Structure 1
Amino acid sequence: MPTLCRDCLRLSDHPAPRCPGCGGRRLLRHAEVATLSIAHIDCDAFFASVEKRDRPELRAKPLIVGGGTRGVVAACCYLARIQGVRSAMPMFKALSLCPDAVVVRPEMSKYAEAGHRIRAMMQELTPLVQPMSIDEAVVDLSGTATLHKAPPAAVLAGLALRVEREVGVTISVGLAPNRLLAKLAVERDKPRGFAVIGAAEAAGLLATEPVTVLPGVGPVLARRLAAQGFSTLGQLQRLSPREAAERFGEDGPTLAARARGEDSRPVDPRRDTKSISAETTFEHDIRDPAALEVPLWRMCEKLGRRLREKGFAAGGVVLKLKTADFALRTRHARLPGHTRLPDTLFAAARPLLAREADGTAFRLIGIGAQPLVDGAGADRGDLLDAEAPKRAARWQAIEALRARFGEAAVVKGRGR
């Protein structure tokens, strides 16, 4: 059976437990390992891994990236996961499960820099790289074997070694004939893993899995499926397209096909960014309208920066509030023009906040851009706002100073 050594990248049919070339034990054996070309690449506990890279004294300790007892876990290392900590878990619960954890505040610029370096390495291998998040992407290496003088599996194993060596974090790889199976494969072997699911074995491997293993099948859909007697993918696999449509509507045939491991989606580097937003959870609940405006302004600054970095502008804003009892409120307002200026975003969100700040205690506030529009024509000014270009120039100057001297170099009064 074809065998790939993940240490020296040698591909052979040698059946021994060690690589005949380097003596390594990290061998990947699979009938289709030399022919598959779609991969899902996921950085392992990314934020926590970057922090441990920069602070070696934390490597043997459970680490949580998050903020305050009122916040949530942004990421955690595998030592913390063993004790039950998970991303998006409230900090107070995470610390009760893992009281000896070291907690560090997120530093997004550092994670973005590492993520961009890894993505650039992927793009050196193929132009068909579809980012899924800052630390995750799908790649298509079809037709690259001649260019790289190696099959995709060996190229991906080499990428993993390079990321470890040059960036200082580890990645896991899922290799398969399509995006769905690649995603499922990468989840089977973490951290520092490399898993393969071939076309011939896909349906059999998935048959006994619960329906919730499919991306997109959340609690609501799982309950709907269970009510009709479907709890495993094998049960869905047996449905014909007609039966699936009769039971689950127009999405039924696709659901049954995915249960069999079928997926025709291409890897698309032009995948649209769906949303850009910024939010914060307070250390203590806030009721006062004026006090709520301070974090709202800070979030408008963050949103404006993120829009500029990604080349977008806002055609409208969405205000997000979460009450002390975790009830979510969202309010939307259209903008007269396209913008990424914090003061314009704040001016649109402030009346929305005023209508909601009626004495209710809030634990979280956020602001998002909706709809997202191309940033090329943003803040050019018109008869209704002739000063927009000047404000845009001032904001660019402020951002340049902050980039050079730190966030505290220039702080507006309403942000204090």
Structure 2
Amino acid sequence: MVAHLDADCFYVSAERVRYEHLNGLPVGVLGNQGACVIAKSYEMKAAGVSTGVPIWEAMAKCPDGVYVKRDFRWYEVLSRLMLEVVSEFSPKVEYYSIDEFFFEATPPPGMDHQRYAEVVRDRIKERVQIPVTVGIARSRTLAKLISDTAKPFGARAVLDPQEETELLARLPVAEIAGIAGRRERQLQLWGIHTCLDLAQADRRLIRDLLTATGESLWWELNGDPVVPIHPARPLHRALSRGGSFGEATDDPMMIYAWLIRNMERLIEELRYHKVLTKHVSLRVGYRDGQAGEGRASLEFPSDRFDVLLDVLRPCLRHAWIKRVPANRMHLIADHLTPRANAQLGLFESGGQRADTIADLKHEVNKKIGRFTLRSAATLPLASIYQDESNEWDICDVRGKICF
């Protein structure tokens, strides 16, 4: 059997662990720049605040709310503690996200699966002080649907096929992870409105509509666990860094500073995973809804600052729209090659000196503090580097399957 564990309002719950006075209050957790709500408590949700709304809209709907800036460094501490507890109960655990785990449900002799789910839930609350919900079923897709319906602070094992059928009949097909928007509308054209409709549909039709991924969901909904639990994270096919600026800007020097910041973070990740990239892309989003993109291939795989900057500068020029305020940027590195297997350029110049500088920069930052030593091009972003919450991002929590 497969279990799915999901923390209840994890970011809010994590803030309540260190700030007990927040218990019972409507709490909203804000993003990097404090511009929007990225998580909210059940009390704030009841006031009509939804995830992603700007802070000013949230305050209008919930003026008595308490708003705090997110701290992914702290959230990772609690996430790792939860992972330790789950690992005590199961030999095979998948670290799916910062607040979600899939694991093999293996109750000890004399304990049924329902009691097992309750014990895991209660042990995490006791040890980590985070409320979680645990669902157990014959497949991971069913387990997630069960945990979603058991929130908050629930524990439920559904192993009887008849009980599964009754549950699936009540749930809209969009409750399945990966089914939304276009896919949901496409299924509805074929009379598939509930999870049970999908499970009872012709498997070949589902494959035609949703490709092999949809067929996997079909098998899973019918109790056949075709999606395995991954105790170790598979190799990345791409790495990305970026996000919101907080305050939109049309200043080219400021936009260039964001390019350097995101590039240094991307290089940090390439070095951590010991891979080089052969292809990069840069995407810039603008306040008026426009977007620009630039792509480039490297002559040889690299993670060097000077090499990546040479190819990303033209990408930025291609993505830049003059006199239109930009508010977000993302860099993506793909065609990844393990550093040990990379074929370097025959006529590459300055390689040894550049690698020495990169190694020195890495060691200084490792010893003194993240990004203590950085490119002078980031000086327009001094306030960003002075804000501790910007030192850590959700994608910097490593080992998760879903990133």
1:376, distance to aligned residue in structure 2 (A): 5.4
State the distance in 1 between where 2:336 and 2:177 align.
25
State the distance in 2 between where 1:88 and 1:62 align.
16
Check 1:95–1:329 CA distance in 2 against 1; reply closer, same or farther (3 A cut): farther
The answer for the alignment partner of 1:32 in structure 2 is none
1:168, distance to aligned residue in structure 2 (A): 2.6
The answer for the alignment partner of 1:320 in structure 2 is 283
The answer for the alignment partner of 1:116 in structure 2 is 80
Match of 1:293 among 256, 270, 285: 256
Q: Deviations over 1:173-208 (max 9, x none)?
A: 111111011110110122222122224121232124
The answer for the alignment partner of 1:171 in structure 2 is 132
1:212, distance to aligned residue in structure 2 (A): 0.9
The answer for the alignment partner of 1:74 in structure 2 is 38
Q: Deviations over 1:3-50 (max 9, x none)?
A: xxxxxxxxxxxxxxxxxxxxxxxxxxxxxxxxxx31001112222221
Secondary structure of the residue aligned to 1:145 is coil
Check 1:344–1:141 CA distance in 2 against 1; reply closer, same or farther (3 A cut): farther
Report 1:2-401 matches (<5 A): 37-67=1-31, 71-142=35-106, 145=108, 150-151=111-112, 153-200=114-161, 201-242=163-204, 244=206, 254=216, 256-258=218-220, 260=222, 262-272=224-234, 273=236, 275-309=238-272, 312-340=275-303, 344-359=307-322, 360-374=324-338, 383-384=347-348, 385-401=351-367
Which has the larger displacement, 170-179 or 332-341?
332-341
Secondary structure of the residue aligned to 2:315 is helix
Secondary structure of the residue aligned to 2:260 is helix
Give TM-score scaled by structure 1 length.
0.78
1:118, distance to aligned residue in structure 2 (A): 1.6
1:254, distance to aligned residue in structure 2 (A): 4.7
Give TM-score scaled by structure 2 length.
0.80
Check 1:256–1:218 CA distance in 2 against 1; reply closer, same or farther (3 A cut): same
List alignment gaps of at least 5 residues for structure 1.
1-36
1:375, distance to aligned residue in structure 2 (A): 5.5
Q: Match for 2:143: what amino acid?
A: A
1:217, distance to aligned residue in structure 2 (A): 0.9
More helix, by proportion: 2
- The 8 Å contact of residues 186 and 209 in structure 2, kept in 1 or not, is answered as no
Check 1:76–1:329 CA distance in 2 against 1; reply closer, same or farther (3 A cut): farther
- What is the aligned length? 374
State the distance in 2 between where 1:386 and 1:43 align.
47
1:265, distance to aligned residue in structure 2 (A): 1.7
1:169, distance to aligned residue in structure 2 (A): 1.6
Check 1:189–1:410 CA distance in 2 against 1; reply closer, same or farther (3 A cut): same
State the distance in 1 between where 2:339 and 2:113 align.
37
1:269, distance to aligned residue in structure 2 (A): 1.7
List alignment gaps of at least 5 residues for structure 2.
380-403
Check 1:63–1:84 CA distance in 2 against 1; reply closer, same or farther (3 A cut): same
State the distance in 2 between where 1:242 and 1:95 align.
49
Check 1:332–1:83 CA distance in 2 against 1; reply closer, same or farther (3 A cut): farther
- The 8 Å contact of residues 314 and 373 in structure 1, kept in 2 or not, is answered as yes
- The 8 Å contact of residues 241 and 252 in structure 1, kept in 2 or not, is answered as no
Check 1:153–1:230 CA distance in 2 against 1; reply closer, same or farther (3 A cut): closer
1:344, distance to aligned residue in structure 2 (A): 4.9
State the distance in 2 between where 1:251 and 1:178 align.
15
Which has the larger displacement, 128-137 or 232-241?
232-241
Check 1:300–1:99 CA distance in 2 against 1; reply closer, same or farther (3 A cut): farther
1:128, distance to aligned residue in structure 2 (A): 1.3
Percentage identity across paired residues of the two chains: 24
Check 1:250–1:168 CA distance in 2 against 1; reply closer, same or farther (3 A cut): closer
CA RMSD of aligned residues (A): 3.2
Secondary structure of the residue aligned to 2:361 is helix
The answer for the alignment partner of 1:34 in structure 2 is none
State the distance in 2 between where 1:245 and 1:400 align.
48
Check 1:235–1:162 CA distance in 2 against 1; reply closer, same or farther (3 A cut): closer
1:87, distance to aligned residue in structure 2 (A): 3.1
State the distance in 2 between where 1:252 and 1:67 align.
33
